[in-house]
Amino acid sequence: MQSYPPIFASFHQSLSTLLETPYGDKSDDLASIIVRRVEHFLHNHEQQDFDAWSEQDIFLITYGDSLNDGEKKPLNVLNKFIKSQLGQLISTVHILPYFPFSSDDGFSVIDYLQVNPALGSWEDIRAISEDYRVMTDLVINHVSRESLWFADFVSGTQPGRDYFIEEEPATDLSMVTRPRNSPLLVPTQTRRGTRHVWATFSEDQIDLNFKNPDVLIKMVDIVLFYLAQGTSVVRLDAIAFLWKRLNTSCVHLPETHTIVKLMRLIVEKARPGALLITETNVPDPENFSYFSQGNEAHMVYQFALPPLILHALNRGTEKYLAHWARALPEYPQGCTTLNFTASHDGIGLRPLEGLVPNSEVSELVDSMHRFGGFVSMRTLQDQSEKPYEINISLFDAMKGTRRGEDHWQAQRFLCSQIIMLGMKGIPAIYIHSLLATPNDLAGVERSGRTRSINRRKWDIGDLFTELDNPVSMQSMIFKTLKTIIGIRQKESCFHPDTPQQIINFAPGIFAFPRIEPKADKSLTAIHNLTATHMDINAGKYQGCFDLLSGNTFTSEHLKPYQSLWLVSG
């Protein structure tokens, strides 16, 4: 067995122990390969520690080309906009896949090691990382069928020849959990004849075979390369589907959890303070399983939050949102959630399973259809279909309630953002929420994909015209959210780790204190989820200071969709 300095000996042992689960007697050799990779990384890159998270942490989610000016590269335009318009109001920029791709707006990667030249270069990524943490997607489950790896598979040459999963069409795959209703096996013409390859998401996104340890080492190399280019948050895309075993669901398998643990060890060793986040759009117990004992993901997405907030504001009830929030588990030390209300994807409905009655989910879907949205379906084991995701701009999702459109869109939308900004965890705001972008139906028509409804590419000149117009929705929402974020960043009760309690206030009111036990300090967030004035018994809060209005609270009622952040004294 190879001898290592003390700084790497325990690292090697931890890796080797982990790798026994998926790779058996190859584990020690694989651990040695990874140690050498990390050793080389540390030798060639200056150490850079990152601060732990705080109340000042706000993530911005954006595509590299969400903003364009027709001249400069979009990543350059994005960087200038963030620095000039947001400054330190955000701490981290999640730039959605910025690599050459063939479909799915970046999530079908052709080359993991190149920046899409239409967006910019690695120099642009590093420039953004000088002022902000950069979150990069590791699209780990699958690769574009236009990649060189898949070309190797087709031609029967190495290394890609053994990078993919082949199954016979007659194989019983009925137990496999599916996020899409496309065929799971895709026929492919190769030099060896027709082969059927595993494709969880689409015929252009071919799943990688992690039973081949060479695939694992390739992904380790890619992670280290991203860290070298300025990444400090690694997002494991679609990680739940990574490992496949026949006669199982092929989701959340023990080998998958092992590889997440492995990636955490590598990230922490190479870049102390760097973070790992898992993307698993599934019900809460499955989602939180990626915390494990505090040795897997540092963060998981709070996937139940977007549909629950939307449902609460659509029906004017706190019932299910409060019930869910009250049952949230304690997170392991060093772990937290990424709270969001919208993203590049639609609003997932799977997290509502077991939380909200199917009839109310159907009514919510009907409302979103009336507000210009779409719904995607997934195929169940019995081959029936079920709503999987609502595709709509969050701003337009707030056009009204289940009773129809009304004139409270802006107030309702701001209420959704204030709830998210106040809850335990780290907030993440999608750029199109920050800009109150409406449904992009023209984008849907151009692309033929319903998800394009929430992926507008703004011309920067058109955007500034709206932001400079004091009566435009874009201007009003953008300025108001910036003010609210600035208030939040100054209040220590909003530290991601500060506990929250859900309290019964009144029907239609969602309220929760954030309590700092050591500082003997608390803040109570109160939100009216309805379009009516709500009388409240707020005697204990009389004389408290409302951070949002900047006034002492003296009222006995809340305006429609009004929110309060009340602190004592």
> What letter does residue 101 receive in the DSSP assignment?
B
Residue 458 has which token pair?
Answer: 């703004």
Q: Quickly count: other Cβ atoms within 10 Å of residue 24's Cβ.
A: 8
Strands, E, within 50-132: which ranges?
Answer: 59-62, 67-68, 92-95
- How far apart, in whole angstroms, are the C-alpha atoms of residue 171 and residue 501? 49
User: Can you tell me the distance from the alpha carbon of 531 to that of 558, in angstroms, rounded to the nearest whole number?
Assistant: 10
User: At 459, phi and psi to the nearest 5?
Assistant: -75, 125
Element (H, E) at 37: helix 27-44
Which SS3 state, helix, strand or coil, does residue 124 take?
Answer: helix
Element (H, E) at 81: helix 74-81
360/303 Cα distance (integer angstroms): 18
d(Cα 505, Cα 538) in Å, to the nearest integer? Answer: 9
> Nearest CA to 416 among 389, 394, 386, 443?
394
Q: Using CA atoms, how far apart are residues 287 and 299, in angstroms rounded to an integer?
A: 10
Given a contact cutoff of 8 angstroms between Cβ atoms, the answer to whether 134 and 128 are in contact is yes
| Under 8 Å between Cβ of 338 and 290 | no
Which residues fall within 8 angstroms of residue 519, CB to CB, at 6 or more apart? 492
**Catalytic position from the list 28, 237, 284, 345:** 237
> Six-digit token pair at 378?
């997934």
Q: Which segments of 145-241 does DSSP mark as H helices, in order?
A: 148-155, 213-228
459 is catalytic: no
Catalytic residue list: 237
